[in-house]
Amino acid sequence: MSNLEREPAERTVCDGPVATAAAPAAEVLEPREVPLGGPRAMPVRRSLPNRYRRMVGAWCFADAYGPTDLTAREGMRVPPHPHIGLQTVSWLVRGEILHRDSLGNEQYVRPGELNLMTAGRGIAHSEETPQEHTPILHGAQLWVALPDAHRDGPPGFAHHADLPRLPVPGGEVTVLLGRVGDAESPARAYTPIMGAEVALTDAVRMPLDPAYEHAVLALDAPLTVDGATVTSGAMLYLGRDRAGVRIDGPGRALVIGGEPFEEPLVMWWNLVARTHEEIVEARTAWEDDPGSRFGEVHGYNGARLHAPTLPNAELKARPRYRPH
């Protein structure tokens, strides 16, 4: 997934724990619809960063898409583009996506399996609907900010097809990152964090770690979360100090959470950094000599993506949260 907006409207900067809810909250984060690629491309519903809240734990970006019938339209087609300072979490409910990266990985993402790419100092990848594909595409991609100690580390990629699944009354929980109860994901994370899919046939009481802040992202039909209606692609922010949350299905949701991420974050296009200068440096490397820092993606049929023009103003820290 890539942020393909030619002129990313928001200068997205997250700055410390200033406004992290220290108590339970129930705040609906409505998504905005963003086209992924050209005019015929697939629209995605982006709930993070949100106008009012930019992060949940270290989660700093959330796109949900579909279910989309691909018999009448082009599927996903995201040419090679760079990332720094983050992990991408790719998750499908239906369909398939082919990932290729500059480390030489070529990997399908399929429902119930996790593709976890760690950008570190720099990686490039492409994501596309393969030639041979099933008709319906439905999924999400989220980004996790890497902490200072790891953001300049080497890039990596992992595919997890055997995530822990936890039957619960009213549904089933699959643990993508971190732990839920006694079930722990084998996927590597770099901050105290969790992410899980909940497939609901009925109402589920999802256990939560009170030390984390959490949010619930609805992946399909409107869900009722803690009594609030959350439409497909929207998120309900829950704050901290909760031992659990009730989600009423049927449907599917992603529950994300983590310790509030306290490092100031500058996020622009597909790059997560700490300063304006770091963004400029990464953008210049991608435009002038991509191989030196990001490597090369082989096998994608088409040209790489170019970075948008930087805004005139310097990218500066802004609060993680601002009141409505």
Report the interface residues with Mn ion, using CB under 5 A. 1-2
Q: Nearest-CB residue to Mn ion?
A: 2
Instruction: Between 2 and 87, name the residue whose CB sits nearer to Mn ion.
Output: 2
Distance (Å, rounded) from C-alpha 94 to C-alpha 99? 16
In angstroms, give the least distance from the CB of 182 to Mn ion: 33
In angstroms, give the least distance from the CB of 320 to Mn ion: 23
Residue with tokens 């990464």, as numbered in its chain: 282
Distance (Å, rounded) from C-alpha 146 to C-alpha 157? 14
In angstroms, give the least distance from the CB of 244 to Mn ion: 33
Residue 115, both tokens: 């593709």
In angstroms, give the least distance from the CB of 42 to Mn ion: 14
Instruction: Between 117 and 193, name the residue whose CB sits nearer to Mn ion.
Output: 117
Instruction: Between 99 and 214, name the residue whose CB sits nearer to Mn ion.
Output: 99
Instruction: Between 47 and 87, name the residue whose CB sits nearer to Mn ion.
Output: 87
H helix or E strand, kind and range, residue 283? helix 276-288
Instruction: Between 53 and 99, name the residue whose CB sits nearer to Mn ion.
Output: 99
Q: Are 180 and 245 in contact (CB under 8 A)?
A: no
Q: Supply φ then ψ for residue 245, to 5 degrees.
A: -145, 145
Q: Supply φ then ψ for residue 218, to 5 degrees.
A: -80, 130
- Contacts of residue 14, defined as CB under 8 A and 6 or more positions apart, other chains included, come to 49, 54, 55, 60, 145, 261, 264, 265, 267, 317, 318, 319, 320
**Burial category of 11 from C-beta neighbours within 10 Å (exposed 0-12, middle 13-18, buried 19 and up):** middle
Q: Are 128 and 76 in contact (CB under 8 A)?
A: yes
* Rg (alpha carbons) of the chain, rounded to whole number: 18
Instruction: Between 20 and 88, name the residue whose CB sits nearer to Mn ion.
Output: 88
In angstroms, give the least distance from the CB of 82 to Mn ion: 8
Instruction: Between 86 and 218, name the residue whose CB sits nearer to Mn ion.
Output: 86
Which residue type, as a one-letter code, is found at position 229?
A: T
Instruction: Between 1 and 236, name the residue whose CB sits nearer to Mn ion.
Output: 1
In angstroms, give the least distance from the CB of 167 to Mn ion: 33
Q: How far is CA 152 from CA 48, 147, 278, in A?
A: 23, 9, 11
In angstroms, give the least distance from the CB of 143 to Mn ion: 8
Residue 149, both tokens: 């100690």
DSSP state of 221: S
Q: Select from 295, 298, 307 the least CA-distant residue to 271.
A: 307
Residue 60, both tokens: 């700093």
In angstroms, give the least distance from the CB of 141 to Mn ion: 7
